[in-house]
Amino acid sequence: YTVGRKMLRAAWSRLSRKAVSRHGQRPLSLFSSPGPSNWNKVVSDAEKIVGYPTSFISLRCLLSDELSNVAMHVRKLVGTQHPLLHTARGFVFDSKSNLQMRGLIVLLLSKAAGASRSASGLPPQDMVSGIYPSQRNLAEITELIHTAFLVHRGIVDLKEWTVSDGPLKDMQFGNKMAVLSGDFLLANACTGLAQLDNTKVVELISSAIGDVVQGLYYENCNGSENGVLQAIDMATWEEQAFLSHGALLAKSCQAALELARHDGQSQSLAYQYGKHLSLGHKLNSDLQPFVKSSTGEPALFSLFSAPVVFHRQIIGEDQWHQQLQQAKTRRNHLDYSKLLAAVKSEKGVSSSVDLCRYHSNKALEAIQAFPSSEARSALENIASAVTKF
C-alpha cells in the first residue's frame, strides 16, 4: 500500500498541481469535511480493528493499466480549470480529511455482527480479523462506486460556461475524460459485484446505484434557477439526502450481513445504522458554514442545505424570496454574508443540530443488538463523532 500510494501521488501530482477550479468546490466524500482532530483519531482507531487502513481501499483498481491509460489523456487538462483535476487531487492528497469511510463502516459492521449461526457453508477459517473475504470485496466495491460518482459529479455544465472558465474545448475534453474514468470505475465495481455470486447483494447494490442517480438528479434540479424558488420541506430534504448520500452506505451495510447469512432483523439493523449515520453526517456537513467562525469572506453554502430549508419553513416562502432579493448585488450575485446572517437569526441552525443528534442517536440504537466488541465500540464512536461541530 505504501509503495502504491507513493506511485499514485506522484502520477496525480503531475496531473493536478496547476489545477484550480471554482466549479469543483464540492465535498469529495460524504465524510470529507475537515472536522476536528478527534474525528481522525476515531477513524484511525477503527482502521486498526479491521486489519488494515481503508483510506485507499480501492488502490488496486486505481493503479490498473487501464486507468493509467486514462490518466495519460487527463494530463492534457493540466493548466485548465476543469474540476476533474480538482477531484483527483483531493482524492489522492487529502487523505486525512477525505477518508473513505463507507468501506471502513462496512468492514466494522461485518466484524461487529460476526459469523452467523446459519452460515454453515462459510468456514470460519476463511475469516481474517473476523471478516469474510467477500465482505472485504464488498467494501472495495462500495468505494469504487462512490469514487465513480465523485468523478461524474465533476462534469461541467457547458450551458453555464463563460470565457473566464478557460477554452471551451478544454471543458469538453475534460467532460469526456470524467465520463470515461467514472464509467471505468463503475464497470470494475459491477464486475466485482457479479463475482460475489449473491443475487440479493447484486439487487441491493444495483438499487443503491439507482438511488444515487435519482438523488443527484434532484440535486441538479434544486440547483437550477427555477429550483431555487421552489418550495421544499425537511421531509423532502431527508428523502433526497438519503438517496444521494445515504442509500449506498445503508444498502452496503445490509449486503455485508447478507454475505455472512445473517437473518433479516440483523440486516435491517445494519441498514438503519448506515442510513442514520449518513443523514447525521450530511447534516453535520451542511452545518459547517453556520457553526464555524470564519474571517474574511463567508463560506459558500447550498440554498438547499438543512439549516436553510429549516429557515425557509420557519419564515415562509414569501419572506424567503424577499431575503433572496435583498441579498442580491448589483451584478445579480448573491451576498452570502447577508443570507448567512438571516439564517442564523432564526432557529434553522439549532433545528439542524437537533436533527443531527437525533440521527446519531438512532444509529447508536441500531447497533445495540450486536455483541459488545471493539468493532461495535468503534461504530458507536463514529456515530457520536458526527455530532461534534
Within-domain flag for 33: no
- Helix H or strand E encompassing 102: helix 101-113
Q: Quick one: which of 20, 47, 30, 27 has its CA closest to 379?
A: 47
Report the interhelical angle of 336-344 vs 317-326 (nearest 10°). Answer: 140
d(CA 251, CA 106): 10
Cell of 199: 443475487
The pLDDT tens digits for 117-159 are 776 666 665 777 788 999 999 998 998 898 888 888 777 777 7
Does 67 map to a domain? Answer: yes
Q: Is residue 211 part of a domain?
A: yes
The model's pLDDT over 1-25, given as tens digits with 9 standing for 90+, comes to: 344 444 434 433 433 333 333 333 3
Kindly state whether residue 354 falls inside one of the protein's structural domains.
Answer: yes
Is there a domain that residue 221 lies in? yes
Q: Residue 191 is part of a domain; what is its CATH number?
A: 1.10.600.10
In angstroms, the CA 48 to CA 378 distance is: 10
Residue type, 63: L
Please enumerate in sequence order all residues whose Cβ is within 8 A of that of 256, keeping only pairs 6 or more positions apart, or say none: 106, 107, 109, 110, 113, 135, 138, 139, 270
Residue 4 lies in a domain: no
User: Whole-model pTM above 0.85?
Assistant: no
| Number of domains within the chain | 1
- With respect to residue 106, please indicate whether it lies within any of the assigned structural domains: yes
Q: What is the pLDDT along the chain (389 residues), one digit of tens a residue?
A: 344 444 434 433 433 333 333 333 343 344 444 455 566 778 777 777 876 555 445 555 555 555 555 555 555 555 566 666 566 555 544 444 444 688 889 999 999 998 887 766 666 657 777 889 999 999 989 988 988 888 887 777 777 666 666 777 777 777 777 787 788 888 888 999 999 999 999 999 999 999 999 998 888 787 665 656 677 899 999 999 999 999 999 999 999 999 999 999 999 999 999 999 999 999 999 999 998 866 666 678 888 999 999 999 999 988 998 998 888 887 777 888 889 999 999 999 999 999 999 999 999 999 999 999 999 999 999 999 999 87
Structural domain harbouring 349:
38-116+125-386
Say if 286 falls within a structural domain. yes
3-class SS at 252? helix
